[in-house]
C-alpha cells in the first residue's frame, strides 16, 4: 500500500511543480499524465484502503481520485494548482499520521 501512496505523491508533486515552474502550454503534458495517474492509481489505493478499512487513508484516496479530473480539465491555472496541492497534501496526511502514532 505504501508503494501506491508514494507513486501518488510523486505524481501530485510533479503536477504541482509543473504548475509552478513550467509555462502554461508546456505544463499540460505533465499535468495530464499526473491527472491520469491520480485517477487510475488512486482507484487502486481506494481498494487497498477499504479492505481492511482505514478511515484516514481511505478518505485521502477518495479525495485523490476526485482531484484527478480537476487536473485533466483545461481550466484556469489556479484550478490545477489547487488540485495538485490538495492531492499532495492528501498523500502526505496518512504518512504523517502513521509516523505520529508510531
Closest alpha carbon to 62 in 17, 93, 101: 93
Q: Lowest-confidence range among 1-5, 11-15, 55-59?
A: 1-5
Q: Which cell is 26 given?
A: 508546456
Task: Name the most confidently modeled range: 24-33, 59-68, 74-83.
Answer: 59-68
- pLDDT, tens digit, 9 for 90 and up, residues 52-78: 999 999 999 999 999 999 999 877 788
**Domain boundaries of the chain, sorted by first residue:** 2-101
User: Do 12 and 84 touch, CB atoms closer than 8 A?
Assistant: yes
Q: How confident is the model at residue 102, as a pLDDT?
A: 62
User: Do 68 and 38 touch, CB atoms closer than 8 A?
Assistant: yes
pTM here? 0.90
Amino acid at each position: 500500500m505504501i508503494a501506491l501512496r508514494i507513486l501518488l505523491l510523486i505524481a501530485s508533486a510533479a503536477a504541482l511543480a509543473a504548475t509552478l515552474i513550467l509555462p502554461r502550454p508546456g505544463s499540460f503534458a505533465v499535468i495530464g499524465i499526473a491527472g491520469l495517474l491520480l485517477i487510475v492509481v488512486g482507484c487502486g489505493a481506494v481498494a487497498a484502503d477499504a479492505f481492511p478499512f482505514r478511515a484516514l487513508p481511505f478518505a485521502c484516496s477518495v479525495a485523490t481520485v476526485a482531484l484527478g479530473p480537476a487536473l485533466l480539465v483545461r481550466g484556469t491555472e489556479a484550478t490545477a494548482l489547487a488540485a495538485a496541492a490538495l492531492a499532495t497534501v492528501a498523500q502526505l496526511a496518512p504518512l504523517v499520521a502513521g509516523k505520529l502514532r508510531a
